[in-house]
Amino acid sequence: MQVRGTVLTVRRADAYHVLTLVAPAIATRFRPGQFVTIAVGGPQTSMLGRRAFAVHDVRPDHGGTVEFVFEASGPGTAWLAGLRARDPLDVVGPLGRPFPIPRDPTSCLLLGVGYGSAPLYALAARLRERGCTVDFLLGAASADRMFGALTARRTGRSATFATADGSFGARGAVTGMLDQVITQARTEVIYACAPVPVLREVVLSASKYEVPVQAMVDVPMACGTGVCMGCVLPVTGTDGITRIVRACVDGPVFRGDLVRWDDMGTIPFDAVGAPRGGWGGEEPSHDRGVIRGVAPPGGHSHAG
Partner 1 sequence: MIVGLSGGSPPRGDTAMPVDMRVRLGGVELPNPVLAAAGCAGAGREIAQFTDVARIGALITKSIMAEPRTGNPAPRLAETPSGLLNSVGLQGPGIDAFLQRDLPWLLSRGARVVVSIGGQTVREYAGLAARLSDAAGVSAIEVNLSCPSAPDAGRMFALDPQAAAGVVAAVRDGARRDIPVFAKLSADVTDIVAVAGACITAGADGLSLVNALLGMAIDTVTMRPALAGTYGALSGPAIRPIAVRCIWQVRQALPDVPIIGTGGVRTGLDALELMLAGATVVGIGTAIVHDPSACARVLRELEEELATIGVDRAADVTGQAHGSARRGRLARGLSRPA
Tell me if 5 contacts partner 1 by CB under 8 A. no
Nearest-approach distance from CB 52 to partner 1, in angstroms = 12
- CA dihedral angle for residue 34, residue 193, residue 183, residue 101, rounded to 10 degrees: 10
Within 10 angstroms of residue 187's Cβ, the number of other Cβ atoms is 22
Site for partner 1 in 149-188 (CB under 8 A): none
Strand locations in 41-182 (E): 51-59, 65-70, 88-95, 107-113, 133-140, 158-163, 170-171
Minimum CB distance to partner 1 smaller for 21 or for 233: 233
Minimum CB distance to partner 1 smaller for 203 or for 232: 232
Q: Which residues neighbour 154 within 8 Å (Cβ) at sequence distance 6 or greater?
A: none
Radius of gyration, CA atoms only, the chain:
19
CA distances from 154 to 143, 166, 301 (A): 18, 22, 32
Nearest-approach distance from CB 5 to partner 1, in angstroms = 14
Backbone angles phi, psi at 256, to 5 degrees: -55, -35
Tell me if 197 contacts partner 1 by CB under 8 A. no
**Of positions 142, 167, 205, 225, contacts partner 1 by CB under 8 A:** 225
158-163 vs 133-140, strand pairing mode: parallel
Site for partner 1 in 30-49 (CB under 8 A): 39, 45-49
Crossing angle of helices 196-208 and 174-185, rounded to 10°: 30
**Per-residue binding letters, 244-263, with partner 1 (x by CB under 8 A):** x----x--------------
Count each helix (H run) and each strand (E run) in the chain, helices first: 7, 15
Tell me if 15 contacts partner 1 by CB under 8 A. no
Site for partner 1 in 283-302 (CB under 8 A): 284-285, 287-291
Distance, in Å, from the CA atom of 53 to the CA atom of 203, rounded to the nearest integer, reads 23
**Per-residue binding letters, 50-79, with partner 1 (x by CB under 8 A):** x-----------------------------
**Of positions 83, 124, 231, 294, contacts partner 1 by CB under 8 A:** 231
Minimum CB distance to partner 1 smaller for 74 or for 131: 74
Minimum CB distance to partner 1 smaller for 61 or for 270: 270
Whether omega for the bond prior to residue 252 falls within 30 degrees of 0, making it cis, is yes
Distance, in Å, from the CA atom of 225 to the CA atom of 37, rounded to the nearest integer, reads 9
Nearest-approach distance from CB 74 to partner 1, in angstroms = 9
Nearest-approach distance from CB 243 to partner 1, in angstroms = 8
Tell me if 279 contacts partner 1 by CB under 8 A. yes
Within 10 angstroms of residue 48's Cβ, the number of other Cβ atoms is 11
Stretch that binds partner 1, among 79-87, 140-148, 149-157, 273-281 (CB under 8 A): 273-281
Tell me if 195 contacts partner 1 by CB under 8 A. no
Site for partner 1 in 81-110 (CB under 8 A): 90, 92
For residue 189, the cross-strand partners are: 108
Minimum CB distance to partner 1 smaller for 56 or for 246: 246
Within 10 angstroms of residue 148's Cβ, the number of other Cβ atoms is 24
Nearest-approach distance from CB 9 to partner 1, in angstroms = 25
Minimum CB distance to partner 1 smaller for 60 or for 289: 289
**Of positions 227, 257, 262, 297, contacts partner 1 by CB under 8 A:** 227
